[in-house]
Amino acid sequence: MEKNNLDSLRHSCAHLLAKSVLEIWPGSHNAIGPAIENGFYQDFDMGEVKLTEDSLSRIEQKMREIVKTWKNFEIKEVSLDEAKKLFKHNPYKVELAEEFAGEGKKLTTNNPGNFLDLCKMGHVDNPKENLKHFKLLSIAGAYWRGNEKNKMLTRIYGIVFPSKEELDKYLWQQEEGKKRDHKKLGKALGLYLIDEKVGQGLIIWKPNGAIIRRQMEEFIMKEQLKRRYKIVYSPHIGKKQLWVTSGHWDLYRDKMYSPMKIDDVEYMVKPMNCPMHMMVYQSDPHSYRDLPLRISENASVYRYEQAGELSGMARGRHFTQDDSHIFCTEEQVTSEFINVMDYAFYFLKAFGIKDYYMQLSVRDLEKKDKYLGSDEVWENAENKIKEAVKTKKVPFKIKEGEAAFYGPKLDFMIKDALGREWQCGTIQIDFSLPERFKLEYIDEKGKIKRPVVIHRAIAGSLERFFAILVEHYAGAFPLWLSPVQVAILPISEKFLEPAQKVKDELEKNNIRVELNADNKSLGGKIRQSTLQKVPFMIIIGEKEVQRSKIKDQKEEELFITIRTREGKDLGMMEVKKFIDQIKSQIENFS
């Protein structure tokens, strides 16, 4: 269903919710009930009545009764005086009518048969047939007009779809999402923590999470070196003037922290690495033979986010970018852009991400003062991105107003387990910063020219990408990423010695292994390792020890029984064979 039609469906269901609540609790007032991104809500002044989550099923039942009586929404235009008379019992509607009239807007009422309301949005044609597949989700408080000086109203959220299948899929997705929530799994699996004593939005990686991060960073480093990137490191702070020169101070200030004074000079914690990397280029003379110059850095940056925008690792105030800047000639831009796209496709495939699409993020043409550079510069950059995408034959969407302030970009929009979209990887073309930092190279004719800069981050924020991976895999990471790849579970203390020998063999082969020496039953140990999502469990007891034997008094054959986290019994095998198999899986993960 197209967005406009879906909005009409959602908004119509908000009317149905309003009628049902007013009928159950006479004397209550409905305020506003818009369609929103994931459904709809309706605000109510309930007087002395306190609604709870238990009230929702009663309201839903009433909605199903009422909708059977509804016909087409009858729309009428009314004057302000008429509106005030019709809704004199509802102060919220009167206030809205006065506001709309003061702005010169038409006032309209609608009525599906037995519920007159003041409304200007679209509605479905046949509510009796269209409003069948809905669900009320939750109750919250909300100040009238979003102003804390106004009365607190009761807000009821709901969802509606054209078909039962779509509703069932959404509800299943929500339940599955709760199980996969990276904030919940992050705590259960010991991956990271956010502590109020440290600060909101500031993430500490715990040992298990740090292992996964290290695997990600090693993969990134290996692939970038293969693609002839040069690695740099830069400080976390720099003089404010750097970000004045880059344009961040004027156009990105709301995401930057306040300056700090050091020796009477103002410094900033960096929100971006761009100025630092401009300095790297500027520090040496360059000719066309040096280009493209690809420099990269896994670097921490700091951005101010409102408390309400924070969401675990998906959105914090401190995160790490796999950041890179490619300095090239204008003739090299398209080929370099394509090379980055190829790397991005390979990267996402290696991490098992398939549900994503390309978004060409361009300027808001109504707010050109928010961006650097002329129309000609922007059109040139946009055309080069389109040329690269066309060459790769990949579809893309255009999103106005999402460009970086210095240039358009191609964003990789990844869908998480809940169907939410996150911008992770990005590739940006920039003609402005080379000009602002006076970057130069000597062309083949000996003339001084400006390079073009391609900004790129493939994972984007390592923290956000990690959160998506946690939810994508529901915490059951593929073998190569798993913090603990093998858990050794001796049946009793009697078998600790052979269990330690097996552990030593696995560690010699760089396999991440833990020995569970707790005085618990085997069933308890299996349950513990399963909850921790350990890919393989090795069980050692009497029959494994009896099967093991000494060969020529030098080499011992160690036998083990293997079980997977999915509960599959792989039977008994010799340790060396298991090591060969698991190493092959780790090395050939992509």
Binding region for Zn(2+): 274, 325, 455
Beta bridge partners of 85: none
Residue with tokens 């930057």: 256
SS3 110: strand
Residue with tokens 């040992």: 207
100 CB-near residues (< 8 Å, 6+ apart): 106, 107, 120
Instruction: Judge whether 261 counts as a catalytic residue.
Output: no
Crossing angle of helices 207-226 and 333-350, in 10° steps, is 140
Backbone angles phi, psi at 128, to 5 degrees: -60, -35
User: Which amino acids are annotated as binding site, given as ranges?
Assistant: 274, 325, 455
Instruction: Judge whether 228 counts as a catalytic residue.
Output: no
343 CB-near residues (< 8 Å, 6+ apart): 223, 227, 458
d(CA 322, CA 252): 20
Contact predicate 466/513, CB 8 Å? no
One-letter amino acid at 294 equals: R
Instruction: Judge whether 321 counts as a catalytic residue.
Output: yes
d(CA 160, CA 53): 18
Residue with tokens 């790297």: 280
Exactly one of 19, 135, 240, 274 is catalytic; name it. Answer: 274
Contact predicate 276/301, CB 8 Å? no
Angle at Cα 202 formed by Cα 198 and Cα 203, nearest 5°?
105
Instruction: Judge whether 133 counts as a catalytic residue.
Output: no
Backbone angles phi, psi at 195, to 5 degrees: -115, 130
Q: HSE of 94 in the Cβ direction (CA atoms, 13 Å)? A: 10
Contact predicate 87/57, CB 8 Å? no
Instruction: Judge whether 518 counts as a catalytic residue.
Output: no
d(CA 239, CA 260): 9
Among candidate residues 584, 535, 585, the one with its CA nearest the CA of residue 564: 535
Exactly one of 42, 215, 321, 359 is catalytic; name it. Answer: 321
**DSSP symbol at 32:** -
The helix or strand, by DSSP H or E, that contains position 245, with its residue range, turns out to be helix 240-246
**DSSP symbol at 283:** T
Strands, DSSP E only, in 444-508? 448-449, 452-461, 486-490
Crossing angle of helices 496-508 and 575-587, in 10° steps, is 40
Backbone angles phi, psi at 25, to 5 degrees: -125, 80
Contact predicate 518/492, CB 8 Å? no
Contact predicate 135/159, CB 8 Å? yes
d(CA 486, CA 504): 12
Catalytic residue annotation? 274, 303, 321, 323, 325, 409, 455
